[in-house]
Amino acid sequence: MGLEMTKVTIDTNCIIDLEEERSPACHIRALILMHRQGKIELSVSAISGSERKSNGEYAHTFSEFKQKIQHVGLGDINILKPLGRYEVTFYDWCVYSDETSEWLEREIHQILFPCVRFKCSEEPNKQRWQNAKCDVLALWCHIKNKGIFSLRVTLTFTKKLRNLNWSL
């Protein structure tokens, strides 16, 4: 039985880095090359398609997101489906939740965003809530996919993630 391939998940910020040719772009391209060479399994969460774009708007269709990732050279990476959430996810690019999935989502949320309400209806700042929900669901996808390294999420939330004690 062979070794399982290292799974790396990138997030929306990595896509933006590639679009805008920011300094991390060369490192992300190295990961893309490693993926194409079969050395790692590179993925992005479909929830990235629900994030607010740099012009302040949201994608109307998932096809817009697929075109965006194709344009920056990510057209051949895996797209992970997040939990379906009303007015956040694209319904043909998400999965139904169960108790375990919802528990994990709630745990991630409480650790990363303790000051943001879990439900949109309870949070006065809807944009803040959606940004938090997208980050939570991106990490949820990474964990459910048994990913080893989530590029931007790990760099941003390392201290908070040390509090997690999950055995999934």
The two three-digit tokens of residue 165, written as one number: 């004690």
The b/e string for 92-123 (b: 16+ C-beta within 10 A; e otherwise) is: ebbeebeeebeebbebbbebbbeebeeeeeeb
Number of domains within the chain: 1
Predicted pLDDT at 30: 92
Instruction: Write down the pLDDT at residue 151.
Output: 58
107 within some domain: yes
Q: For residue 168, tell me if it sits in a domain.
A: no
Q: Tell me which of 81 and 52 has the higher pLDDT.
A: 81
Does some domain include residue 166?
Answer: no
Residue 104: per-residue pLDDT: 94
Helix-strand-coil percent breakdown of the chain, rounded to 5?
50, 10, 40
Query: What residues make up the domain containing 82?
Result: 6-161
Query: For residue 131, how many other CB atoms are within 10 A of its CB?
Result: 16
The CATH number covering residue 66 comes to 3.40.50.1010
Q: Is residue 94 part of a domain?
A: yes
pLDDT of residue 49: 92
Question: Is residue 14 one of the residues assigned to a domain?
Answer: yes
Per the domain annotation, does 10 fall within a domain?
Answer: yes
pLDDT digits (tens, 9 = 90+) for 143-154: 988 876 665 544
Work out the average pLDDT over 114-138.
91
64-100 tens-digit pLDDT: 999 999 999 999 999 999 999 988 899 899 999 999 9
CA distance 143 to 32: 20
Q: Is residue 28 part of a domain?
A: yes
Task: Give the whole-angstrom CA distance, residue 136 versus residue 112.
Answer: 8
Q: Three-class SS of residue 156?
A: helix
- Asked, for residue 167, whether it belongs to a domain, the answer is no
Structure tokens at 3: 């070794």
